Amino acid sequence: MKFKYLVFAGSLLLVLFFSCRKDPVINPAAKLQFSADTVLFDTIFTTIGSTTKNFRIYNKQNHAVTIDHIGLAGNAGSSFRLNINGRQVNEINNIEIPANDSIYIFVAVTLNPNNLNNPLVVQDSVVFLTSGNTQDVKVIAFGQDVHLINGKILKTQKWVNDKPYLVYNSMLVDSLQTLTIDPGTRIYFHKHSSLLVKGTLLVNGTLEEPVSFLGDRLEHQYDEYPGQWGSWKEYPDGSKYIYGGIHFAMGSKDNVIKYGIIKNAMKGIQVDTLANVKKPTLTISDTRIENMSIAGIYAQSSTIVASNCLIANCGSWCVALTLGGSYEFYHCTLSNNFGVGNRTEPTLMLNNFLVFNGTAYVYNLYNAVFANCIITGSRQMEIEFLNTIDKKPVPGQFNYVFDHCLVTVDTMNTSDATKWINVIKNLNPRFDSLTYTHRDYSLDTLSPAKDKGNLFFAKYFPLDIKGNNRLSDAGPDIGAYERIEK
């Protein structure tokens, strides 16, 4: 009898429990929450797809919510593309978000050319319909039309500063042909693309309108990121030959770069040709080469004259002069404080031989002059000479001189006064700023390089990289920048 009573009591409690329980009430006024109210794309190039961005939709209620519809307001005519919770669709119906959960929406965009040299603005919105509520997240993209150079071989021509040039799948200036680039022209390179030159390149930038060579990722997080462009050749054994972002191949001659900005490639410039030991293959002046994953300038048996150049922040060398050649650097600042990964190579390297399959091939370093230059960085030894095998000098010529330079050389022997003339050793040049987001290689007022340059060379280059007069104070400063006291 007692057992029957317990069963009856338990059954009664269950009936009472379920009769009192109510289904949860979904508040029709409840709204979704979003991680952003606007998805903004920085300037992208027309016809070329953007990076992908995303935002999250949150259901912060204690019960599941069904979104009746998600879609682009522009529908089929929209320039934007969506991936909704893992599905590559621009609209979807009846998608449920569990209680206190969220889903992702990914957004990408491709813009059509507008044939104008002005940025265009394309807007749309992702619309959400939930229990009678309408909400949206705006999507906005700024775009610009370009001259698209897709794997072309160029004959003699001029590029003008009307709208940017976008190099896709690399390009080649053919043998005996000349590409002339007007002041202010901007050239952007897609991933794995280079400017290859078998003929001649003439870059005619000015102080007010430099010519820019940059990667085509224009979002701010890529502003200082190395290795974004530059092509390579892959061999069957898996090894790679990496070309320069601007690569002067054998036979190229009489190249000139004035007032250029070259940033964020694997190699900034590579020069592979000794066209004439008495006439430079490349004359480069008033140019900034920064943030390369390998090297700023990489030369092989070539001739280069450089003046008023900044070459900074490279994964290996700022300047590597290999397999001999003839080189002159005047009033240049070479500084390597690479901030992405570890660096094991010096800022400057000179070399006059190659070992291949066990055989040494010797070249002549006819001349390597560094006058009124800063050569420094974050390592204790920032200059390296590779002219010995098993500690024995190779027989090729190895001629160099550092005249009135500030150098970081640790314990290197610099006692030969014919090669090391009035050098300042192992002192901090005291640049204005070397933070990752703001690098300014101007000298501060206490710099040991201030007024210590050789006036003889300064008279040939009286204006610095910013157009300041080197001859207007107590003496020319060492490096590309002249300190102007206020």
pLDDT for the residue 6 = 41
Q: Would you tell me how many other CB atoms lie within 10 Å of the CB of residue 118?
A: 9
Does 336 share its domain with 257? yes
pLDDT for the residue 275 = 63
323 is in which domain, residue-wise?
A: 146-458
Does 369 share its domain with 261? yes
Does 188 share its domain with 43? no
Does 151 share its domain with 75? no
pLDDT for the residue 437 = 64
Q: Tally the domains of the chain.
A: 2
Tokens of 381: 């030894």
Does 188 share its domain with 58? no
pLDDT for the residue 436 = 60
Please give the average pLDDT of every successive group of 10 residues along the chain, which has 486 residues: 42 42 46 93 82 93 93 89 94 94 95 77 93 93 89 97 94 98 96 97 98 90 92 91 96 96 98 81 98 97 97 97 96 91 92 92 95 96 95 93 98 96 97 78 95 97 98 95 90
Does 191 share its domain with 332? yes
Bridging pattern class, strands 165-168 and 147-150? parallel
CATH classification of the domain holding 409: 2.160.20
Q: What is the 3-state secondary structure (H, E, C) of the chain?
A: CHHHHHHHHHHHHHHHHHHHCCCCCCCCCCCCEECCCEEEEEEEECCCCCCCEEEEEEECCCCCEEEEEEEECCHHHCCEEEEECCECCCEEEEEEECCCEEEEEEEEECCCCCCCCCCEEEEEEEEEEECCEEEEEEEEEEEECCEEEECCEECCEEECECECEEEECCEEECCCCEEEECCCCEEEECCCCCEEECCEEEEECCCCCCEEEEECCCCHHHCCCCCCECCEEECCCCCEEECCCEEECCCCCCEEEECEEEECECEEEEECCCCECCECCEEEECCEEEEECCEEEEEEEEEEEEECCEEEEECCEEEEEEEEEEEEEECCEEEECCCCCCCCCCCEEEECEEEECCEEEECCEEEEEEECCEEEECCCECEEEECEECCEECCCCECCEEECCEECECCCCCCCCCCEECCEECCCCCEEEECCCCEEEEECCCCCCCCCCCHHHHCCCCECCCCCECCCCCCCCCCCCCCCCC
Q: How far apart are CA 83 and CA 199, in angstroms?
A: 46
Does 132 share its domain with 150? no
In a domain, 478, yes or no: no
Q: How far apart are CA 7 and CA 14, in angstroms?
A: 11
Does 56 share its domain with 86? yes
pTM of this structure: 0.84
pLDDT for the residue 342 = 82
